[in-house]
Chains A and B, each alone.
Chain A
Amino acid sequence: MPHWGELWDRLRGTFRRAPESGGRSEREMDAELHSHLELAIADNVRRGMTAGEARRAALLSLGGIEQTKQAWRDQRSLPWLENFAGDIRYGWRLAARNPGFALAAVVALALGIGANTAIFSVLDKALLRPLPYPHAGRLVFFGMLIPSADSRPFLFASSYVDLRDQQTPFESMASWRPGIGGCDLTESRPLRLGCARVESTFLPTFGVAPLLGRNFTASEDLPEARRVCLISYGLWQSRFAGNPAALGHMLSLDGKPTTIIGILPRDFAWPTLGRVDLVLPEALTAAERAKPLAGVVRVYARLKPGVSIEAARAQLEPTSQTWRRALPPMFRRDMRLGLLSVREDQVGSIRRALWALFGAALALLLLAVANVANLLLARGAAREREFAVRAALGASRWRLARLQLIESSLLGVGGGIVGAGLTYLLLRLFVALAPAGIPRIRQAGLDAPVLLFVVAASLLAGLLCGLAPALAARPSRAMFAGRSLGPPRGRLGAALVVGQVATSLVLVAGAGLFVDTLRNIESVPLGMDASKVITAEITLGREAYRQAGATSQFFDRLQTKLRGLPGIAGVALGDSLPPTGGEHAHPFYGIRVEGRPPFEKGTGGLVGWRIVTPGYFQMLGIPVLEGRGFVASDQEPESNAIVLNQKLAARLFPDQQPIGGHVQLSPPSGPWYEVVGVAGDVKYVENSGLVAPASPEYYLAVKNAPASEPAGADARNELRHAFLLVRSPLAAAGIERLVRGEIASLDPTLPASISTLESRIELLRVQPRFNAALISLFAALGLLLAALGIYGVLSFLVAGRTQELGVRMALGAMPQGLVGMVLWGGLRLVLAGLAAGVGLGLAVARLLKGLLYGVSAGDPKIFAVAALVLLAAALAACAIPARRAARIDPVAALRNE
């Protein structure tokens, strides 16, 4: 058990004035010993000794004044700490005496530590930090995974209802309707909200209790129940200023009255990380619950304690076979059971990218460490005499190594402090580069775990760079040789250079791969022209636009008003926009072509479709390759024009002219459509930013008035959720304002999200851009560090060989010969490093495969360019010491001896 009082006093004693210089306690100790001796002598005299005898006896029984004092001092402070503090003071003085050296080392380490910490901070929030739910490790997301239909697992509501009655590995389950839908707060201040429709078990499954109010009950989760909702903390603050009276308040949501019954907690995060303002009951209809293949839901569940994901998968496997049998034939083979942790679902493709970036940052740190190690090695040579003297005075090898390690740790700590500042700047850069696409990036900052990481990284980096000189120090050898620049130190430095070159080659080649990927993604023709197009996303509520024809009236008036404005070259509407997929799709085999037998069931994958107005193709720059695009007469209700994309046309009419052909769409009871045109294919840009090939699609014209059809029915050609497209040569900001104004003049309660089409596409490319930008930054810094490292080692070698070179010169060596010798000495190391780097790089690049587009992981061109870049940098770094070698004055060099 430590005595805190003792520890405290001794700590204070340690940091008071050094005892040798005679502090207050030192004087007191002297006084006490003096009084002890006086008392003892007086006592002895009283017992009959002479003054001399009395004094000798007193000293004898005390047992030595100096020993006593030393034991006393040791008790007064903590000797090991005192030694340690002494070493630190010494290291500090050494650094202060050579500020250029210290600065170079600190900057190099700060670069490495800063880059690592910034990436770690992002990584920590995205991948490592526990999700904000109790026992989050037990939360899973599962369903049927059918890649050709949906990238994420789902279930049909009927299967889910069946599952609830069965034995499952789950403690609880909750379904919700896929996607956070837009819903509109149709009040005096219109607002587009993110709304999620969930089962009543949803919040309890996640272990989340409302901050205020309550969750809805199972009976409130029925379609006929009174409408209730929970609102997010953010909405509560912004709309109700955090007033508890918001509970019970009636909202007008898509024109329907909805009562607020609860407020979600402040830190509540939606499991898919989307922004959710409002949670509504899922309200599955009786038909959805009962009919197979009707409603689609996503399902979250909480595993029973102690049940692993693998065990749950095994237990669900038989059930998934019944799901499979219920599927249409085309999906059966494709289907498998999808079951993954909520974390895994959230992180998806970004995981690999973040680890890759972390690896790059780590490589940068290693380069920095190698550089500082080299600097220390070079300086270690100059300090050999000092170490020899210390060793001669009895310092152990460990004590000398400790001195070096403490010194280099000081550099590491300096690097950490500067690096933390750098982290702050880098994080701001990250957020600017990737506002979306990386989970929780905005939360990344210098918090406790990140600071801990900084401390650990700086100490580790500092110790690592001190390791080389500590190991290389051979004081005894130096004593006997007097002066030594022998091979061991040179060999260590050479090995460091080879390692540095190899590491930076991997970095540069990696950067090349990512930059090439980005360039490929940006230069691949999507099959459309996004420039000068402004988009506005609008959803007309089912209540407010209930009457037949109300929606088409609204869009007609909006288009007419916009067309009349100056500076607007064209206006069009569509229910979805490339380069993302359409809102709708159905199986390919559901299509019939007149005069041909039906396609075999279960073949052909999915066909997507969009409904568009006549100007759509022109507006998006999608070429009409055959026939014509839509015209105004195609919008009449009786017209049955259809435009196919190239891919679908080739599949439906492999050996004949598609124009004039007739097709019947799924379901087969519908009308026959006449093919009037074939439009060019448009590629898809996926969420990861990578480009996917186009898939078969067709387009239908938006109808003028759905006339007889009842409101709310799923009229195929009715627009409710629409993208307005406006092409104008004018500045985007002005047009955006104009469009917003026109929408508000028609319906002031209607929210619209307006942006340029280019920025919509840019958003999809955030991830590859982030990867390319960061890794290029790291590679550039790494290259710089490697070049500096080569320069440092060669300069050191040349300096060490001054006499040898002088002798050679005196014996008639030509300066060019000496330059060549020094250059070759450096290049040999560089070439060895390049060879090692190519091998290492090929191995590492294979891990990056899923992140690359249009470039193979082992692309020889990229590796060759990377090697050349490094070679050039290395040559430049070698040139300076080589020139110095050529300028050596033999007389001066020899006189030095």
Chain B
Amino acid sequence: MPRSKADVLQGTLDLMVLKTLDTIGPMHGYGIARRIEQVSENLLALNQGTLYPALLRLEQRRWISSRWGTSENNRRAKFYSITAAGRKQLAAERKSWERMASVIARLLAGAEEA
């Protein structure tokens, strides 16, 4: 695995899944994985297997729901969609992520000036 690709941080996967489902609507596991890789322009090394426990966890937390359906090329697949609670959670996580990012950015900027 090339070193330049970033490993997915623990916890950020939840945020990415929620955001993805919020943007593109109901989607199956493979689609979610592909979408995250595409958006990151293949910079993220997503171990697709780790997606499924995460999806289960999000479902257990009632942030997403699932239902079997048919894919674009006529295959059976399980489709996930974000719930109202999930949207709320997404907003909250987004806010805390942005705050964190801005703190880090300011820290790094300060460090450069010194």
A contact residues vs B (CB 8 Å cutoff): 3, 5-6, 9-10, 29, 31-33, 35-36, 38-40, 42-43, 61-65, 67-68, 71-72, 74-76
Contacts and interface: CB of A to CB of B under 8 A. Distances in A.
A40 B30 contact: yes
Contact of A5 (B30, B52, B62): B62
A62 B31 CA distance: 13
B49 A67 contact: yes
Given A6-B61, A39-B28, A39-B75, A32 B48 contact: no
Nearest to A10: B60
Given A6-B60, A42-B73, A71 B53 contact: yes
B49 A32 contact: no
B15 to A, nearest CB: 16
B2 to A, nearest CB: 14
Given A33-B52, A64-B49, A72-B56, 18 more contacts: A3-B60, A5-B62, A29-B52, A32-B78, A35-B77, A36-B30, A39-B28, A39-B75, A40-B48, A62-B47, A62-B48, A63-B48, A63-B50, A65-B49, A68-B50, A71-B52, A71-B53, A72-B52
A65 B61 CA distance: 25
29 contacts: A3-B60, A5-B61, A6-B60, A9-B60, A29-B52, A31-B78, A32-B29, A32-B77, A32-B78, A35-B28, A35-B71, A35-B75, A35-B77, A39-B30, A39-B73, A40-B30, A40-B48, A43-B30, A43-B34, A61-B33, A61-B48, A62-B49, A63-B47, A65-B49, A68-B50, A68-B52, A71-B53, A72-B52, A75-B56
B76 interface: yes
B57 interface: yes
A671 to B, nearest CB: 98
Contacts of B47: 61-63
Given A35-B76, A36-B30, A39-B28, A6 B57 contact: yes
B68 to A, nearest CB: 8
Most chain A beta-carbon neighbours within 10 Å: one of B28, B47, B48, B76: B48
B52 A39 contact: no
Contacts of B62: 5
A436 B48 CA distance: 76
B25 to A, nearest CB: 17
A358 B52 CA distance: 57
What 9 pairs across the A-B complex have the smallest Cβ distances?
A68-B49, A6-B60, A63-B49, A75-B53, A63-B47, A39-B30, A9-B60, A35-B77, A71-B53
Interface in B16-39: 28-31, 33-34
Contact of B53 (A33, A36, A61, A72): A72
A51 to B, nearest CB: 16
Interface of B: 28-31, 33-34, 47-50, 52-53, 56-57, 60-62, 71, 73, 75-78
A43 B60 CA distance: 30
A891 to B, nearest CB: 64
A76 B77 contact: no
Question: Is the contact region of chain A dominated by helix, strand, or loop, or is it mixed?
Answer: helix
Nearest to B31: A39
B58 to A, nearest CB: 9
A31 B66 CA distance: 14
A67 B49 CA distance: 8
Contacts of B75: 35, 38-39, 42
A545 B50 CA distance: 98
Contact of B52 (A9, A32, A43, A61): A32
A881 to B, nearest CB: 58
A566 B3 CA distance: 117
A40 to B, nearest CB: 6
Contact of A71 (B29, B33, B50, B71): B50
A3 B62 CA distance: 9
Nearest to A28: B78
B73 A74 contact: no
A10 B57 CA distance: 9
Contacts of B53: 68, 71-72, 74-75
Contacts of B48: 36, 40, 61-63
A32 B48 CA distance: 13
B111 to A, nearest CB: 33
A39 B33 CA distance: 11
Nearest to B71: A39
Nearest to B45: A61
Nearest to A6: B60
A324 to B, nearest CB: 75
B30 A76 contact: no
B74 to A, nearest CB: 10
Contacts of B77: 32, 35-36, 39
A68 B56 CA distance: 12
A74 B54 CA distance: 11
Contacts of A43: 30, 34
Contacts of A71: 49-50, 52-53
Nearest to A64: B49
Contact of A76 (B29, B33, B56, B76): B56
A64 B52 CA distance: 12
A40 B29 CA distance: 10
A35 B72 CA distance: 13
Contacts of B34: 43
Contacts of A9: 60
Nearest to A38: B75
A5 B60 contact: yes
Nearest to B29: A36
B79 to A, nearest CB: 11
A31 B57 CA distance: 18
Nearest to B47: A63
A841 to B, nearest CB: 60
Contacts of A35: 28, 30, 71, 75-78
A76 B54 CA distance: 11
B52 to A, nearest CB: 5
A39 B34 CA distance: 11
Contacts of A76: 56
B38 to A, nearest CB: 12
Contacts of A42: 73, 75
Contact of A3 (B52, B56, B61, B73): B61
A554 to B, nearest CB: 85
Contacts of B29: 32, 36
Contacts of B31: 39
B83 to A, nearest CB: 11
Contacts of A32: 29, 52, 77-78
Contacts of B49: 62-65, 67-68, 71
A10 B61 CA distance: 11
A36 B55 CA distance: 13
Nearest to A12: B60
A634 to B, nearest CB: 97
A29 to B, nearest CB: 8
Contacts of A31: 76, 78
B49 to A, nearest CB: 3
B109 to A, nearest CB: 33
Contacts of B78: 31-32, 35
B33 to A, nearest CB: 8
Nearest to A71: B53
A64 B34 CA distance: 17
A5 B62 CA distance: 7
Of the listed residues B33, B60, B78, the one surrounded by the most CB atoms of chain A closer than 10 A to its CB is: B60
A75 B60 CA distance: 9
Contacts of B71: 35, 39
Interface centre among B50, B52, B61, B75 (most CB of A within 10 A): B52
Contacts of A64: 49
A71 B49 CA distance: 9
A226 B6 CA distance: 94
Contacts of B30: 35-36, 39-40, 43
A688 B24 CA distance: 85
Nearest to B76: A35
A68 B30 CA distance: 14
Contacts of A38: 75
